[in-house]
Amino acid sequence: MVNLMKVMTQPYMVAGRLGKACVCGAVDLVQDIACGNGTKNPFNKNSEDVRDDSDGNPLNMFSGGNGKHTKYEDYKWGQLPRAAKQAAETLGMNQQIWNQQQWVPVDDKSWSGMTPREKQAAMTLGWDQAAWDHKYEQTNWVDLPNHVQNACKRLGFTQQMWDNGTWPAVGKKYWDNMTEAEHKALYTLGYSKSSWD
């Protein structure tokens, strides 16, 4: 015999569970985005994105889909993800210093002279020892990370030029005479306007 009460209430129970799952999922997403707990906002290009947007999107031209590869140098303070802001603050920066690319004491330290906390903050911002200490200039082409090789190619480097320390034409340009793509490529290597000119 069919339980009439169960048949009549089943659709509402399913709908209730589905609604609860949707609401809980949305709440989890909002909480993770607000707290920086791993889940990233797929609609915000300024969040730390886990998608691979290396498909020619000009905002992600050197792969990875996030500002980490350009050391966030092409981001203003207000665009930085929370973790990047906290890392910048650990390195002694604030909004004014970040936006104006001003010097901070940690800039004078080598990687080996940094505290573990400073190194972690630098890594959060996309730096590694080769970029921090010598902007990859002492790294052979075959040992460069893929995104750095792509940035080098965008600047006009070939493997032979890189390994011989020969700069393409961009090496003779002033920062203000470069294209945005050249800026992003140089950010990827660890250069900025203040370190270039």
Q: For residues 19 and 23, what is the distance between their CA atoms, to the nearest angstrom?
A: 6
Per-residue pLDDT reduced to its tens digit, 65-88: 457 888 998 899 999 999 999 999
The closest alpha carbon to 165, from 136, 194, 130, 124, belongs to 136
Q: For residues 178 and 184, what is the distance between their CA atoms, to the nearest angstrom?
A: 10
Residue 93 within a domain: yes
Residue 2 within a domain: no
Residue 29 within a domain: no
Provide the pLDDT confidence category of residue 46 given band limits of 50, 70 and 90: very low
Q: For residues 194 and 103, what is the distance between their CA atoms, to the nearest angstrom?
A: 9
Per-residue pLDDT reduced to its tens digit, 134-154: 999 999 999 999 999 999 999
What is the largest distance, in Å, between two alpha-carbon atoms of the chain? 87
Residue 36 within a domain: no
DSSP assigned state of 68: G
User: In whole angstroms, what separates CA 142 from the centre of its chain?
Assistant: 23
Can you give the pTM of this predicted structure?
0.66
Per-residue pLDDT reduced to its tens digit, 84-116: 999 999 999 999 999 998 999 999 999 999 999
Residue 100 within a domain: yes
Predicted confidence at residue 197, as pLDDT, reads: 79
Structure tokens at 195: 């370190």
CB neighbour list of residue 169: distance below 8 Å, 6 or more residues apart? 156
Amino acid at 114: M
Q: How many domains does the chain have?
A: 1
Q: Which residue has the higher pLDDT, 58 or 166?
A: 166
% of the chain beyond a pLDDT of 70: 66
Q: Containing domain of residue 80, as a range?
A: 58-196
Structure tokens at 32: 């993770």
Kind plus residue range of the DSSP H or E element containing 150: helix 146-155
- Rounded mean pLDDT of the chain? 77
Contact call for residues 53 and 45 (beta carbons, < 8 A): no
Amino acid at 140: N
Predicted confidence at residue 177, as pLDDT, reads: 96
Q: Which residue has the tokens 């250069």?
A: 191
Contact call for residues 90 and 117 (beta carbons, < 8 A): yes
Residue 119 within a domain: yes
Average pLDDT over residues 19-39: 43
The pLDDT of residue 164 is above 60 = yes
Residue 52 within a domain: no
Residue 26 within a domain: no
